[in-house]
Each structure stands twice: as structure tokens, then as C-alpha cells.
């Protein structure tokens, strides 16, 4: 059997969220259509999304309950995980009621009024909130994640563009990489004495006196003399 880490809950939950949310949207849309035939067709589509979504929801809840009792976690993530579980169970119970109501109305060929539609939209909102809490468990608390990246120092441990398929990007908070004709040193470095070779003069620029420069330094024309 294919191994899904931590289990199948992250797989099933996407079907639950997508199908039940689409069911609510389509059913809401059908209430605003004056074309009775088209509205009836959308109602059928919404019904199929609701029932297929409920089938996946049974699997989602079962896998989620298993994950809640088996995934390794600490105290802060346990609190967040319990909150997600509570949201999920309340939303699940509401959708169970809606599905039962929809079955009753369909069997008796009764119109689904605005009360049913409003309740379905509210349930979809609760579902999206539950999904957000579930995402927090992974992306904020790292639940179910076997390995986390280990950056070396601040920022990326490699230059942008290496492995990303993009041109290198220069970060504002990091020094730029030196060019081949440049060198890096600190003006306060004790080892700066190595640069104190015999000064040489550069050709005077137009209208300015020639200024001595240290070996290895590069100054733009017109730069004022300074002491290193």
C-alpha cells in the first residue's frame, strides 16, 4: 500500500473542501436564476457534489481522528490540534444534518428554500475555517512533517537561481557577491596592513589633482581622497 505521511487525511480533506464548497456555491447560484430548467440542473449538480463530498468527508474524519491520536506533537501544537478537531466535528455534524435534510426534501420533491441555502452557505464557511486551522497545524506547527529545512545562517544557504530555475536575486539585507576584479575587506581590520603597499598615483582627472590610492583599491574618477 502506498505510504502517505503522516496518513491519508491530507489526501481526503482536499476532496471534502472542494466538493462541499462547490455544492454550496452552485446551490446558492441556482436560487438567483429565473430560468427554471437551468436552476433545476444546477440543483442536481449541487446535490451530487454534496453527496460525493459527504462520502469523502467520512473518510476525512476517520483519517483525521486517527491522525489526532497518533501524530507526534508538543503542548502548543496539541492545543491547536484540539481546536482544529473541535471545528471539524462541529462542521461535520452540521453537514450530516444538511445532507439528511436534502435527502428528505428530494424524496418528497419539495423546494429547498432560503433557509436550507443559508444553512448550507454557513456550513461551507465553517468548513473553510476548519481547513485554515488544519493548514496552521502543518505550516505553523509542523505537525506530520518528518524533515524541516536547515538553512545555514540568515537567508538561503545557496545563491538564488541555483536549483530554482530563476535569475539570481539580490537581497537588500545581505552583501552583494564580489566581482572578479573586487576584493572584500574591512577598513577596521587589523589585517588591512597587508594592503598598505607603496602607494601609487592614478592619472589626474580633468580639473582634479591626482590622489594616491592603495594597491588593489578601485575608485571612480572624481572620488575625493580618503584615509583607509
Q: For 45-77, what is each residue's pLDDT tens digit? A: 999 999 999 999 999 999 999 888 888 878 888
Number of separate domains in the chain: 1
Structural domain contains residue 226: no
Structural domain contains residue 18: yes
Long-range (24+ apart) CB contacts under 8 A made by 188-194 are: 192/228
Dist. CA 94–CA 118, nearest whole Å? 12
Structural domain contains residue 19: yes
Q: How confident is the model at residue 211 (pLDDT cuts 50, 70, 90)?
A: very low
Structural domain contains residue 199: no
Domain that holds residue 104: 9-71+78-139
Structural domain contains residue 190: no
Alpha-carbon radius of gyration of the chain: 32
Dist. CA 104–CA 109, nearest whole Å? 9
Structural domain contains residue 220: no
pLDDT at 50: 96
pTM of the model: 0.62
Q: What is the mean pLDDT of residues 24-40?
A: 88
6 cis-preceded (ω within 30 degrees of 0): yes
pLDDT at 113: 82
Range of lowest pLDDT (121-130, 144-153, 198-207): 198-207
Dist. CA 40–CA 31, nearest whole Å? 10
| 187/154: higher pLDDT | 154
Cell of 221: 574618477
Cell of 50: 454534496
Q: For 155-205, what is each residue's pLDDT tens digit? A: 555 555 555 544 444 444 444 444 444 444 444 444 444 444 444 444 444
| DSSP string computed for 81-124 | HHHHHHHHHHHHHHHHHHHHHHHHHHHTT----HHHHHHHHHHH
Dist. CA 213–CA 203, nearest whole Å? 11
Best CA proximity match to 7, nearest among 59, 55, 85: 59
pLDDT at 89: 96
pLDDT at 139: 84
Structural domain contains residue 15: yes
Structural domain contains residue 206: no
Amino acid at each position: 500500500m502506498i505510504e502517505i505521511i503522516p496518513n491519508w487525511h491530507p489526501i481526503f480533506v482536499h476532496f471534502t473542501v472542494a466538493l462541499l464548497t462547490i455544492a454550496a456555491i452552485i446551490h446558492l447560484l441556482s436560487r438567483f436564476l429565473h430560468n427554471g430548467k437551468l436552476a433545476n440542473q444546477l440543483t442536481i449538480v449541487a446535490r451530487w457534489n454534496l453527496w460525493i463530498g459527504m462520502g469523502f468527508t467520512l473518510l476525512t474524519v476517520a483519517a483525521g481522528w486517527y491522525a489526532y491520536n497518533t501524530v507526534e506533537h508538543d503542548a502548543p501544537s496539541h492545543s491547536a490540534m484540539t481546536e482544529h478537531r473541535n471545528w471539524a466535528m462541529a462542521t461535520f455534524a452540521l453537514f450530516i444534518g444538511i445532507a439528511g435534510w436534502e435527502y428528505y426534501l428530494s424524496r418528497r420533491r419539495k423546494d429547498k428554500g432560503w433557509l436550507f441555502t443559508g444553512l448550507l452557505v454557513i456550513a461551507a464557511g465553517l468548513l473553510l475555517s476548519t481547513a485554515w486551522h488544519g493548514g496552521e497545524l502543518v505550516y505553523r506547527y509542523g505537525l506530520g512533517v518528518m524533515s524541516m529545512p536547515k538553512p545555514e545562517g540568515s537567508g538561503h544557504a545557496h545563491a538564488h537561481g541555483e536549483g530554482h530555475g530563476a535569475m539570481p536575486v539580490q537581497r537588500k539585507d545581505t552583501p552583494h557577491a564580489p566581482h572578479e576584479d573586487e576584493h572584500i575587506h574591512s577598513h577596521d581590520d587589523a589585517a588591512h596592513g597587508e594592503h598598505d603597499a607603496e602607494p601609487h598615483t592614478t592619472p589626474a582627472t580633468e580639473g582634479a589633482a591626482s590622489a594616491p590610492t592603495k594597491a588593489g583599491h578601485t575608485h571612480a574618477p572624481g572620488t575625493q581622497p580618503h584615509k583607509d
